[in-house]
Amino acid sequence: MTAGIDLIHFATSDYELGLDTFAKEKNLDVNKFFDGIGQEKMSIAPPDEDIVTLAAKAVSPILNKIDKQTITAVLFATESSVDQSKSAGAFLHGLLGLPNKCRVVEFKQACYAGTAALQMAISLVHSNPKENILVIAADIARYEQGSSGEATQGCGAVAMLIKQNPRIMIIEQGSGYYTEDVADFWRPNYLNTALVDGKYSTKTYLNSLKYAWDNFVEETGKQFDDINNFCYHIPFSRMTEKAHKTLIKKANKIISVKTFNQQTLPGQIYNRVVGNSYCAALFISFCSFLDNDKHNLEKNRFGFFSYGSGCVAEFFTGVIQTGYQDFIMKDSHLQQINNRQALSYDEYVDLYYKQKIDGANIVFAKNNKGKYRLEKIENNIRKYEIN
Ligand code: CAA
């Protein structure tokens, strides 16, 4: 029996801020963003869009293809939690009318948590092949205005149906891990924006990649040449280039520019225009690869590097299944990306930084154009609506 990703779909918000608009406002050379960090746009979530509504948008097309009564668990990974106690998955469970015979839990370890949820789901399926698990990775990346991270914001949610004999990708057993207690990026409970030591965080990312890779090779015996394509956690797309160069050096390899690009570029197309989506970023990169690579990927082995600041990292692999092309949801991905409304810098500031959530009752202005939205907070209870 095998276990893996049977269906995968991602969602993002209805608004975007171009980094050309951002650069103009800040009086900076736009090439710092387009070339230097490799980002063109960032998805902006208005106050009535949160990780729950993004997740509902991501899951919905998957539920349209299956009997939702068969879902046995919702494992929700995020670092933009909406509550310190109740999991975002419990709100989602209600919003989507999932069966009561179901387990729901939230996972947290910065951007790594999506991988933890995925691996937990894979183990559950191996121990009980009747499990049909929804793994959700959803985040809204928010830094302080004027900080180095401001240009690397964004948002997104990925939903994956994890089950036996999957139609898109088998997740292979055996992976490499690395954990170290570092202060590269974090968000204290009293802040709604993350704090980051930007340069140090890129250093700890690359350092973790080297250790996780060593552990992966030791555990699995697989080598660089056993892997066809690579998806990395993408805080900004140039990080993929830095990571792949680091891995190639670590594995003592020399590869052509053409091979380098084939191994990594298709996985950056969506992230370049969505921005950082923390837990979701690695899996949006995978969607980007599936949707945009011109080659037939059947039987290709993907290497995934998951990094969560703080920090925990994992390198793992999966193999694409024959006929995967019939199950990818490219049209929906492109439609969402292309239909976003462009914001001016001032509109972005209004939507992103002005709304205070401090315990008072709030009825949110209607900006979220999707089916699921956060309508209000009443007596400290979040109320969602379906349009
Ligand atoms: N034309 C072309 N390139 C230019 C340029 C121009 N006009 N101006 C600058 N650049 C280049 C620089 O040379 C630099 O390239 P290298 O990285 O190759 O040196 C790049 O653009 C960035 O320029 P700076 O270093 O001057 O930019 P910065 O000081 O604004 O910081 C950053 C960049 C540290 C990544 C910042 O965006 C940041 O703090 N981001 C948030 C933290 C982050 O994403 N960390 C990533 C690892 S941690 C992680 O992955 C977890 C997570 O999701 C947060």
Say what the pLDDT of residue 209 is: 98
Alpha-carbon gap, residue 365 to 235, rounded angstroms = 30
CB-side neighbour CA atoms (13 Å) of 174: 10
In ligand 1, the atom with minimum distance to the C-alpha of 110 is 51
Find the catalytic residue in 93, 233, 244, 333: 233
Say what the pLDDT of residue 218 is: 98
The residue type of 221 is: G
Say what the pLDDT of residue 98 is: 98
In ligand 1, the atom with minimum distance to the C-alpha of 30 is 7
CATH number for the domain spanning 95: value is 3.40.47.10
> Is 49 annotated as catalytic?
no
Find the catalytic residue in 16, 79, 106, 314: 79
> Is 233 annotated as catalytic?
yes
| Cα–ligand 1 centroid distance for 250 (angstroms) | 22
From residue 320, give the alpha-carbon distance in Å to each of 6, 270, 299. Answer: 11, 20, 5
> Is 9 annotated as catalytic?
no
Residue among 112, 180, 202 whose CB has most ligand 1 atoms within 8 A, to mutate: 202
3-state class (DSSP) for residue 337: helix
3-state class (DSSP) for residue 16: strand
Task: Walk along the chain (387 residues) and give the pLDDT tens digit of each residue.
Answer: 999 999 999 999 999 999 999 999 999 999 999 999 999 999 999 999 999 999 999 999 999 999 999 999 999 999 999 999 999 999 999 999 999 999 999 999 999 999 999 999 999 999 999 999 999 999 999 999 999 999 999 999 999 999 999 999 999 999 999 999 999 999 999 999 999 999 999 999 999 999 999 999 999 999 999 999 999 999 999 999 999 999 999 999 999 999 999 999 999 999 999 999 999 999 999 999 999 999 999 999 999 999 999 999 999 999 999 999 999 999 999 999 999 999 999 999 999 999 999 999 999 999 999 999 999 999 999 999 999
Cβ contacts of 110 within 8 Å, gap of 6 or more: 79, 185, 186, 278, 279, 308, 309, 310, 311, 312
10 Å Cβ neighbour count for 165? Answer: 13
Say what the pLDDT of residue 116 is: 98
Our count of domains for the chain comes to 1
CB distance 62 to ligand 1 below 6 Å: no
Domain that holds residue 209: 3-386
